[in-house]
Every structure is written in structure tokens, then in C-alpha cells.
Chain A
Amino acid sequence: MNDSASPTAIDIAGLGYAYSKADAVHDLTLHVQRGRCYGLFGRNGAGKTTTMRCVLNLLRPQRGSIRVFGMDPAQQEVEVKRRIAFVPDAVAFYPWMTVRETLDYLASFRSRWNRATERDLLGRFRLDLSQKTGALSKGQRTQVALVAAICPEPELLLLDEPTSGLDPIVRREFIQTVIGAYQDADPGNRTVLVSTHLISEFEGLIDEFTIMDGGRGVLTLDADHARERYRRIRARFSRAMPAHDFAGALRVHRTERDLDIVTAGDGDRLLADVQRLSPEWCQAEALSLEEVFVATLS
């Protein structure tokens, strides 16, 4: 099956891959809908990069299957690669080429290259076209790689830890800029799969995510649903808190007068429980995606 009619950009079913004895990825299943920004979250070594490499056909899955736009990336390699772009975590260019020469060289492999997008992003990043790529900082090299990835207007953009090792103040802004520019035209056909352990930088950008741990997918959720489901309830009591069993809470932390509960799905019931104990102050708020990540893995 090959078709632009395929409603999904990526389908991974029962994926398994091992470098030696230990599985790097074990029985991973996930589906990325077209037009969405999908996060693959996990600590270093969780299996994110191995998964990306299987999608790119840089590694052959040992178990399970991968389809990109309904096609097998091993069987229809050219057709798949024509439609995707990939930015690895460590970007390498020919150091003797200037930024201009590098972009022209990369453009020569592509049937399309959006010059207006290129101009726009080069201006925003204030990249000097005449500079040799060998003289660029790591952040600037990543910027060049991101520009080169989106100018061909791929239907799928794969980003592997795009912000790690970069200046914390600029990195969030430029990932926002790049994804914004990428999805500006034809958003229904602009899909992003991004792997990262720096989750807070992608808060707001991610539509849906899978948390990986030890090669397995441990949680897949829509970002809006995550905020609805995962809540933190905090309360303070005027005197020692009555004994109470907060059954169903993910985590309960209490001192004599303070209570701090994290819940998944049982927020309303637990909040009512807490309020029945008549706290002098009580607050419930959604967990950020990073807090969901921490709560899931601990």
C-alpha cells in the first residue's frame, strides 16, 4: 500500500531492536497522525534514537513493522526519503563549505526548495551566509540543519534531540520558529516527530506524545488529555491533618499540616476527599508535560 491517502504519517507496530543482548526497543507501537506534532519523550538510552533510526531505515527492525505514509521504508526507500527530512542530534557538514554553499549543496538533492522560507529563517537566525560551517557554533550548525530540513517542504520532519547542548535561552525560541515556519503552509501535510528529554521546551508545541522507558512505550497521550488527567492537589491544614487514605493517588506526600498529591484520572474525587477534610487552603492544578513525564517514570 502506498498512498498519499494514508491518514497516518507513521505507523509503528510491535517494533523490536537489540544491539547486543539487551533490547534497545521492545514491542513499541505508536501511530502519528498527519499534521500533528508528536513527541517521543524519554531519558538518554530509552530507545528514542533507535526508533528514529528504524523509521529512517538506517536500522532494520528485527521485530514488528514500520510504515511511513503507508510504505515500508526498506522496500520503498527512495519514495519515503523524498518525503521526509531528518535532523540528528549531532549535525555534521563539510567544514570548508560556507553556509551558502552548504545550503545549495543540500538543495541539489531535493526536487523542491523554498527560497522564501530560507531567506526568512536565515534572517531571523542572523546567519552569515559567507561563513564556513566549520567556524559555526553548535547552535548555529543546528540552525543551518533545521533550515535545510524544512526548505524542501517535506511531509514529515524528524528531529532527534534538536535542542540538546544548546544555549537554554535561545533554543526554545528557535525550535518554535522552525516548527512555526514549517507548518505555516499546508499544515494538514506537515507532520513532526521530535525526540527529546528536554520536555519543558516543547510544552505547548506537542499535540500528542509517547513516553519511552527501557525501550518500551509506557504512556501515549494527547497533550490536552494529559493536562486534564494529571493533576497535583496541594492543601494546608490549620492543625494536624486527620488520617486519610488517598486511594488511587499516584503519589502522596504529607507532613503534619501540608499535603501534596499527584493523581492521574481521579482528580475530581480526590479533590473532593481533600476538601471534606476542611483544609485552610487548597489548590488543584494540571501537571506540565515534564511533570507528567517525571510522575510516569518514578
Chain B
Amino acid sequence: MLFQINFKSAKPVYLQLVDQVKSAAAAGLLRAGDALPSIRPLSEELRVNRNTVAKAYGQLESEGIIETQPGRGCFVRAAQSPLRKDARRKLLVAEIDDVIVQAHHLQVSAAELLDLVRERFDALATRQSSHADKQGTR
């Protein structure tokens, strides 16, 4: 299963789904042109209300991550964020601040955190390229 909902998270369920689609796209698990599951089967699989899935897809569409083709479903768009660059940066800053606060509480130093970020970049790049290989040999 590509998506998973955690009801113990304080993050609204629809936002969990939005973030998971984005990270799946960033990791190359979802590529431009890939179809997203349609609303009813996905809501049954995740055991959530269809409104929740519809709201998530609506947000992804307004952010330009996916597009709806009437009668066919929702598809991942090529990675082109319609937001201006400073707006995009602003969105990231809030997330980064959260991570820094969390690191402070976990007594992880700034240097360690930066190392960890680099390490995660590499891990994602590895995952992306191995996924691309698999797609290539299909």
C-alpha cells in the first residue's frame, strides 16, 4: 500500500494524504502521468470518508501536483510548482523550523542535523534511481 493514515497523528487526515502523495512523487514512486487511485476504492482501503480523499485531491490539484481529467481520473503532473520561488521557499521554512525545534528537544546538534539531511538526500536519490531502473526493465 502506497498510502497510510495514522489517526494518532495530530495532522489532519487529508493533509497526511497530501503529504504522502507529494513525498511519493518526490521519491519517484509516483511519476508524471501516473494515475492516482480513484476516490471510492482509496477511501475504502484507507477506511476514511470519501470527502477526506476528495479534499486531499482538491488540494493537490490546486497546488498543481496532480490534474483531473474528467471521466478518467487524477494524474500526477510533471514537477512544475505553480508557486513563485519565494512562496515555495516560505512553505519549506515552516517545515524546517519544525525539524529544528524537534532536533533541539532530541538533543541533536545543528551539525548532526545537517549531516542527517545530506544522508537523507542520498538515500532518496538511491531509491529514485533504483526505481527508475526497475521501470526501465519493465
Contacts and interface: CB of A to CB of B under 8 A. Distances in A.
Interface stretch (B25-33, B44-52, B64-72, B109-117): B44-52
Contact of B8 (A205, A206, A285): A285
Contacts of A275: 105
A227 B12 contact: yes
A231 to B, nearest CB: 6
Contacts of B105: 275, 282
Given A180-B44, A184-B40, A227 B51 contact: no
B135 to A, nearest CB: 32
Contacts of A176: 44, 47
B133 to A, nearest CB: 36
Contacts of A162: none
B10 A228 contact: yes
A187 B54 contact: yes
B50 A224 contact: no
B7 A205 contact: no
A233 to B, nearest CB: 11
Contact of A207 (B10, B11, B44, B49): B49
Contact of B50 (A172, A180, A206): A180
B40 A205 contact: no
Interface in A181-211: 183-184, 187, 203-207
Contacts of B52: 204, 207
B43 interface: yes
A282 B105 CA distance: 10
Interface residues of A, number: 28
A184 B51 CA distance: 10
A114 B95 CA distance: 47
Contact of A177 (B5, B12, B44, B49): B44
Interface string B83-115: 000000000000000000000010000000000
A117 interface: no
Contacts, number: 64
Contacts of B10: 227-228, 231, 267, 284-286
B8 A204 contact: no
A204 B12 contact: no
B51 A35 contact: yes
A186 to B, nearest CB: 12
Given A231-B10, A286-B8, A187 B44 contact: no
B9 interface: yes
B8 A207 contact: no
Contacts of A267: 10
Given A176-B44, A180-B43, A204 B7 contact: yes
A67 interface: no
Contacts of A285: 8-10
A213 B48 CA distance: 26
A160 to B, nearest CB: 19
A8 interface: no
Interface in A203-234: 203-207, 223-224, 227-228, 231
Contacts of B8: 285-286, 288
Interface of A: 35-37, 172, 176-177, 179-180, 183-184, 187, 203-207, 223-224, 227-228, 231, 267, 275, 282, 284-286, 288
Interface of B: 5, 7-14, 40, 43-44, 46-52, 54, 105
Which 9 residue pairs of A and B lie closest in terms of their CB atoms, listed nearest first? A224-B12, A204-B48, A285-B8, A286-B10, A204-B47, A205-B49, A183-B50, A228-B10, A180-B44
Given A224-B12, A227-B9, 11 more contacts: A36-B51, A176-B47, A180-B50, A203-B47, A204-B48, A205-B47, A205-B48, A224-B14, A231-B10, A267-B10, A282-B105
7 contacts: A172-B47, A177-B44, A179-B49, A180-B50, A223-B13, A286-B8, A286-B10
